[in-house]
Structure 1
């Protein structure tokens, strides 16, 4: 019986360790808005990471404690590489995460369950109060895409926006 309990306890610890490791790699706050390391661009449904030399134009984004982005609607031409420059004028952390409604919904749910998860991806910028951030993104697919602040409560309060990518 003792052996069985020891095996069960060891198994539970191993599973907990694996889940904790997976979560810490998936999301987090250790480097929120910190120095981003160079990334290998990976195609997403809403585009691909862009490089500074490819920037077509820069769009400033203001983040507020009224849970709003200014602007909250952005029009982009297919193939444009946009530098989003974020400024958080609030007193709490905000973030901008590009994606589709389903991916943002899924990510927001994870943030609710694991609010201290770490994350750092080229389609995300975490901006401390009074701070600045940046995303450089190439919109290589037409369509309507979304962006949001997925910090628990912010998304639910309506801190969302839309990117419309047109072919012309």
Structure 2
């Protein structure tokens, strides 16, 4: 069976358009993200609080399952109420978002962030825009913490 280029091109147009939109999101630089979401950065962020452990020193994230929507702005408040340090590590997730800032104490950090360490009693705020849908793992990489159940999942949907 032979197809003329006219029919092949018509069938490829929607595919190419979808591919271009997808590549725009996954290849977005911070400057591109800021430009395409200028009004988004002025909107209030959806606040989510995650505790790294609890006062009983249980090795878990509370909650350990986060559901986010691509293209939305979030303010993730991280707290560590335990007597030991913990990490919030989700590298693949961090690579799929645009970080506006991380604030801890009187320090504000801008740029790419891959993990945060919270010492006992510490709090941090991570403000970001989700860019890419997917399922991302979350863990505390301190030896024994992941194995004891200090893991979670971050799901970003369209």
Taking structure 2 as the reference length, the TM-score comes to: 0.56
C-alpha distance in structure 2 between counterparts of 1:140 and 1:152, whole Å: 31
Q: Which runs of 4+ in 1 moved over 2 A?
A: 47-51, 53-56, 134-138
The verdict on how the C-alpha distance between 1:123 and 1:137 changes in structure 2, with shifts beyond 3 A counting, is farther
Q: Structure 1 stretches of 5 or more lacking a match? A: 1-42, 104-119
Q: Could you tell me how far apart the structure 2 residues matched to 1:96 and 1:148 are?
A: 6
Match of 2:153 among 125, 148, 162: 162
Q: Distance in 2 between matches of 1:141 and 1:48?
A: 13
Over 3 Å counting, the alpha-carbon distance change for 1:161 and 1:125 in structure 2 is same
Hey, what's the Cα distance between the residues in 2 that align with 1:83 and 1:153?
A: 29
Aligned-residue RMSD, C-alpha: 3.2
Q: TM-score, normalised by structure 1?
A: 0.53
Compared with structure 1, are the counterparts of its residues 162 and 97 closer, same or farther at alpha carbon in structure 2 (3 Å cutoff)?
same
Which residues of structure 2 form unaligned runs of 5+? 1-25, 35-40, 96-110
Q: Kindly tell me the number of residue pairs found equivalent between the two proteins.
A: 106
Which of 70, 81, 94 in structure 1 is aligned with 2:62? 70
* C-alpha distance 98-161 of structure 1, shift in aligned 2 (>3 A): same
Aligned pairs for 1:15-26 (under 5 A) are none
Q: Max radius of gyration: which structure?
A: 2
How do 1:78-97 and structure 2 match up within 5 A? Answer: 78-97=70-89
Q: Which structure has more strand as a fraction of its residues?
A: 2
CA distance in 2, matches of 1:122, 1:132: 16
